Amino acid sequence: MRATMNGIEMEYLVDGPASAPTVLLSNSLATTMSMWKDQVSFLARDFRVVRYDMRGHGRTSAPPGPYDFTLLAGDVVGLLDHLRIERAGYVGISIGGIIGQYLAVQHPQRLIAAVLCSTTSQISDQVRGVWDQRIAAVEAGGMDSQVSATLERWFTEPYRAAHPEAMTWVGDMIRMTPTVGFIGCGRAIQGLDVAKDLGRVRTPTLVLPAEKDPGMPPALSETIHRAIGGSEFSVIGNASHLSNIEQPAAFNAAVGAFLRKHLAKA
């Protein structure tokens, strides 16, 4: 399905009963909404599940940058408006988790509850330099330059060895990401600084890192948890960055229990 809003054409899908509370899923950088395939059937038992390709990804428009998180959060609000959804639960992983923080700060009236997975709230000078290197590599060699190293960060070695089909699937998503979308979102990440605003967040929040994530270790999520009053904190064991793929049963159990608790009240 397609929505025209905020200057782009956005691709999205809806599953589950129309009368149920809505949960919106926001994917990581260099993937598409298909990364949620192990969550959709589980969550659609209780919720209306909306997933989308973010700006610069999948079948959504990939306009030239710069992008920032006010823009990316505005895309989510535009999709909710298009679907006439007043408030929703939100699950975001990696950059999707950053978008969730901006929604909670800038558009709190649109969120019932938020799950922030494998994410951060601030970028150090060192990591900002890493993004310069990644962007330069993509400008020189395209998205093929990112596949191998990204898979190594996103999944533990035992999982990679045991699931070559998943590595092919996720590797193809990375490879197919428009370079302009990767660069636009990468520049947005370089400018990330929402940590100072998280004390204002009143949205019920679950912060959900992965135990073995080298890029977004649990310590970064603990900082978010401490900043958001009343937030909950849990760690997905034996998983790296994309814990929803590597450990879907544990991920689904944690997210499902949290959403059922808070969306049942909506």
Spatial CA neighbour of 117 closest among 91, 99, 156: 91
What pLDDT score does 216 carry?
97
Region of residue 238 (left: phi > 0; alpha: psi -120 to 50; beta: else): left
Per-residue pLDDT of the chain (266 residues; tens, 9 = 90+): 999 999 999 999 999 999 999 999 999 999 999 999 999 999 999 999 999 999 999 999 999 998 999 999 999 999 999 999 999 999 999 999 999 999 999 999 999 999 999 999 999 999 999 999 999 999 999 999 999 999 999 999 999 999 999 999 999 999 999 999 999 999 999 999 999 999 999 999 999 999 999 999 999 999 999 999 999 999 999 999 999 999 999 999 999 999 999 998 77
Tell me if 146 sits within 8 A of 174, measured CB to CB. yes
Are 54 and 26 a contacting pair, CB within 8 Å?
yes
Q: What is the pLDDT of residue 264?
A: 85
Residue 93, pLDDT score: 99
Using only the alpha carbons of the chain, give its radius of gyration: 17
**What are 233-239's contacts with CB under 8 Å, separation 24+?**
233/206, 233/207, 233/208, 234/206, 234/207, 234/208, 235/208, 235/209, 235/210, 235/211, 236/208, 236/209, 236/210, 236/211, 237/211, 238/156, 238/211, 238/212, 239/156, 239/159, 239/210, 239/211, 239/212, 239/213
CA distances from 234 to 175, 192, 251 (A): 31, 23, 10
Model's pTM, two decimal places? Answer: 0.98
Cis before 66 (ω within 30): yes
Centroid of chain to Cα 249: 18
CATH of domain 2-263: 3.40.50.1820
2 C-beta neighbours (distance < 10 Å), count: 10
Extents of the domains making up the chain: 2-263
Q: What's the CA angle centered on 85, arms 83 and 87, to 5 degrees?
A: 150
H/E segment holding residue 43: helix 37-43
Q: Which amino acid, residue 197?
A: D
Which residue(s) pair with 232 in the sheet?
Answer: 206
What pLDDT score was predicted for residue 263?
96
